[in-house]
């Protein structure tokens, strides 16, 4: 059968001067690579060690590596067409590793794959298939970059054009060898053309974004456990990302791994509404900083390369980090920059200072007297948690003080009563610290987390249920830095378990469900709230939903800060939800709820009704 396959033509003999020329070019090529790559590697390795980093358990890392790197799962899933084209190029590169080694070895008579042997013929034929796929793939990517030009790819990059051309030439010069015979001048010329292209490609890698070829497999493998995970501070002198010497090895590695694909900015709510923040530029800014000042510098990180204003425009929605194909963790980087500014007092913002002072002196982020919470609890006869009930219903600042948040709590309480679930609320709660955690105030976050953990422990709370995804996330993940939090779940998870026991709802509506960032991307809960909302009607999806959901604009403490630059994030999202034609917008987060309430209020009549899933589920209950 192998006789039917075309055979790769290889030159058999080389002159001494050819060997000399090859050796010289190869040394120059490697030197060209190392001259740039050496300092980059130095910058990464000389950065400070990552506090709280553990290589083990390694299973998760291997899984991510196989899915994201070897199978290109994330690249393809999030951008199918460009993703497949990229995967073809990547797989061809893998297949070509042996081909290339053998190609160079021929020069010294060390060939280990015989093109006319069975194994060689099969392997070269296999590589040829990839070469065709790669040539098609790289051509497609070339057309996209130079003719389709999506805006998130940024300025036309001639380096990328050159690299695309080199890859294309590599494939063509490989494939052409199948149409030649033996050791002729033509096959010799082809061999040299392939070799020179190869040697020209190598030094280009560290000079262009193609550095990701070398770095991103490591970046993906070494990325932190958990989504948008904020690392602990190393010691008494660590205040977050203040100056160059605060950059950790992971941050530096990620800064150099960026492939500038712009998926992060494509999905960023700040960048899509005319704000200064561009998550890609944050990462490239750190790269620029490292190149100019290095990892031992005392030069502020928020200065020449990154702006403080941009760092404080992030809603921490995590769309960037979720999308990034090379394992960059934008949220810890941006929160790290905020920590640096807030922990040293460099951030001066009237609204921010007001929030911090309110939480230093009081219990809730809204700055309302806690007597109002007591009145709410008393008026609605909410039982106090005394250790005998199953659930502690965590009200949160919105559930305890915001009028709409209270309605959500009362709807849930009505469902509890119907299901005969035993629950109680804390006599006193403090803010979980979510907004101050994301704004980078470690001092205040620690105080709030410790006070709450102590109060929960004293009350022997075992299980918490909350209407706020921010509370849920902060209790479960962020409090771990200061103790062992009780089990906690979001009311969508609770309600989904009991959905079948709730009475049917007569008036069925058309409902669009908005995925809250802290429930979806942060917690991976997408279907539970939908199954609850579906009790009240037919679900339609917004253009951006599930893991691509577009933020309401409240997260990261931004709901407490001043007016936004550009369009309001909440207005953009509210318009998108209204455009689905749904009569009801279903929410599962009191912050999303309040943002859309304001956005719809401006729209006036004709805006869809805004309902939390608990309010929807309670519709069928007897009065």
Using CB under 8 A as the criterion, which residues of the chain lie in contact with other proteins when the complex forms?
A: 236-237, 239, 342-345, 350, 352-354, 356-357, 360-363, 369-370, 374, 428, 441-444
Nearer of residues 203 and 556 to other proteins, judged by Cβ: 556
- Give the H or E element holding residue 488: strand 487-490
* Least distance between other proteins and beta carbon 350 (Å): 6
Nearer of residues 352 and 485 to other proteins, judged by Cβ: 352
* Least distance between other proteins and beta carbon 551 (Å): 26
Nearer of residues 343 and 474 to other proteins, judged by Cβ: 343
User: Strands 509-513, 537-540: parallel, antiparallel or unpaired by DSSP?
Assistant: parallel
* Least distance between other proteins and beta carbon 443 (Å): 4
Give the span between the Cα atoms of 409 and 614, in whole angstroms.
8
Number of C-beta neighbours around residue 116 at 10 A: 11
What are the phi and psi torsion angles at 424 (to 5°)?
-150, 160
Give the span between the Cα atoms of 415 and 412, in whole angstroms.
5
What are the phi and psi torsion angles at 248 (to 5°)?
-95, 170
Give the span between the Cα atoms of 298 and 321, in whole angstroms.
28
Q: What is the dihedral of CA 347, 352, 356, 357, to 10 degrees?
A: 100
Answer yes or no: are the C-beta atoms of 469 and 490 closer than 8 Å. Answer: yes
* Least distance between other proteins and beta carbon 249 (Å): 23
- Kindly report the length of the chain: 623
* Least distance between other proteins and beta carbon 362 (Å): 5
* Least distance between other proteins and beta carbon 405 (Å): 18
Nearer of residues 369 and 422 to other proteins, judged by Cβ: 369
> What is the C-alpha radius of gyration for the chain, rounded to an integer number of angstroms?
29
Answer yes or no: are the C-beta atoms of 184 and 23 closer than 8 Å. Answer: no
Nearer of residues 447 and 531 to other proteins, judged by Cβ: 447
* Least distance between other proteins and beta carbon 397 (Å): 13
Answer yes or no: are the C-beta atoms of 585 and 577 closer than 8 Å. Answer: yes
Give the span between the Cα atoms of 558 and 435, in whole angstroms.
8
Closest by CA position to 441, among listed 389, 466, 471, 478: 478
Nearer of residues 239 and 513 to other proteins, judged by Cβ: 239
Nearer of residues 66 and 353 to other proteins, judged by Cβ: 353
Give the span between the Cα atoms of 240 and 234, in whole angstroms.
9
What are the phi and psi torsion angles at 591 (to 5°)?
-75, -45
Nearer of residues 356 and 423 to other proteins, judged by Cβ: 356
Nearer of residues 374 and 487 to other proteins, judged by Cβ: 374
* Least distance between other proteins and beta carbon 372 (Å): 11
* Least distance between other proteins and beta carbon 441 (Å): 7
Answer yes or no: are the C-beta atoms of 321 and 283 closer than 8 Å. Answer: no
- Give the H or E element holding residue 435: helix 434-439
* Least distance between other proteins and beta carbon 303 (Å): 18
Nearer of residues 155 and 378 to other proteins, judged by Cβ: 378
* Least distance between other proteins and beta carbon 579 (Å): 38
Nearer of residues 382 and 505 to other proteins, judged by Cβ: 382
Answer yes or no: are the C-beta atoms of 593 and 620 closer than 8 Å. Answer: no
Strand order in the sheet with 463-466: 423-424, 391-394, 463-466, 487-490
């Amino acid at each position: 059968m192998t006789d039917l396959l075309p055979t790769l033509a290889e030159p058999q003999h080389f002159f001494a001067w050819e060997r000399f020329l090859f050796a010289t070019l190869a040394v120059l090529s490697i030197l060209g690579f190392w001259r740039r790559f050496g300092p980059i590697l130095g910058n990464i390795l000389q950065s400070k060690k990552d506090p709280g980093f553990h290589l083990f358990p390694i299973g998760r890392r291997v899984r991510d590596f196989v899915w994201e790197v070897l199978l290109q799962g994330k690249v393809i899933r999030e951008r199918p067409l460009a993703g497949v084209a990229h995967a073809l190029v990547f797989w061809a590169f893998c297949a070509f590793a042996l081909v290339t080694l053998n190609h160079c070895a021929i020069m010294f008579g060390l060939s280990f794959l015989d093109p006319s042997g069975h194994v060689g013929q099969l392997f070269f034929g296999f590589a040829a298939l990839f070469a065709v796929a790669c040539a098609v793939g790289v051509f497609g990517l070339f057309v996209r970059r130079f003719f389709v030009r999506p805006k998130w790819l940024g300025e036309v990059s001639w380096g990328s054009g050159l690299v695309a051309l080199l890859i294309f030439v590599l494939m063509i010069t490989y494939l052409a060898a199948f149409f030649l015979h033996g050791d002729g001048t033509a096959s010799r010329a082809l061999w040299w053309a392939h070799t020179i292209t190869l040697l020209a490609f190598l030094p280009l890698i560290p000079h262009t974004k193609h550095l990701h070829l070398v770095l991103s497999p490591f970046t993906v493998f070494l990325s932190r456990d958990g989504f948008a995970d904020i690392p602990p501070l190393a010691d008494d002198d660590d205040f977050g990302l203040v100056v160059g010497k605060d950059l950790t090895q992971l941050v530096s590695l990620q800064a150099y791994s960026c492939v500038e694909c712009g998926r992060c900015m494509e999905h960023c709510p700040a960048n899509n509404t005319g704000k200064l923040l561009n998550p890609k530029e944050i990462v490239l800014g750190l790269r620029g900083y490292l190149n100019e000042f290095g990892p031992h510098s005392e030069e502020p990180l928020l200065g020449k390369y990154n702006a403080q204003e941009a760092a404080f425009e992030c809603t921490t929605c995590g769309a960037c980090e979720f999308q990034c194909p090379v394992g960059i963790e934008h949220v810890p980087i941006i929160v790290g920059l905020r920590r640096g500014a807030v922990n040293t007092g460099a951030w001066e913002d009237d609204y921010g200072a007001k929030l911090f002072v309110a939480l230093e002196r009081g219990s809730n982020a809204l700055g309302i007297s806690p007597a109002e919470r007591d009145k709410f609890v008393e008026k609605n006869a909410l039982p106090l948690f005394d250790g005998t009930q199953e659930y502690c219903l965590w009200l949160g600042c919105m559930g305890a003080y915001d009028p709409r948040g209270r309605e959500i709590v009362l709807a849930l309480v009505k469902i509890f009563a119907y299901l005969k679930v035993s629950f109680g609320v804390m006599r006193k709660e403090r803010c979980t610290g979510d907004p101050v955690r994301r704004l980078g105030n470690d001092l205040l976050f620690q105080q709030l987390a410790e006070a709450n953990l102590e109060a929960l422990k004293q009350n022997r709370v075992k299980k918490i249920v909350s209407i706020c995804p921010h509370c849920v996330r902060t209790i479960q993940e962020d409090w771990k830095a200061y103790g062992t939090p009780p089990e906690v779940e979001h009311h969508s998870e609770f309600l989904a378990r009991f959905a079948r026991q709730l009475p049917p709802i007569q008036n069925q509506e058309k409902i669009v469900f908005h995925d809250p960032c802290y429930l979806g991307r942060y917690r991976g809960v997408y279907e539970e709230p939908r199954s609850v909302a579906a009790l009240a009607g037919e679900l339609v999806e917004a253009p951006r939903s599930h893991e691509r959901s577009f933020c309401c604009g409240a997260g990261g403490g931004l709901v407490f800060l001043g007016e936004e630059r550009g369009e309001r994030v909440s207005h953009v999202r509210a318009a998108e939800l209204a455009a689905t034609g749904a009569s009801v917008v279903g929410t599962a987060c009191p912050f999303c709820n309040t943002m859309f309430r304001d956005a719809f209020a401006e729209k006036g009549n004709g805006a869809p009704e805004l309902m939390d899933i608990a309010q929807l589920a309670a519709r069928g209950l007897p009065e």
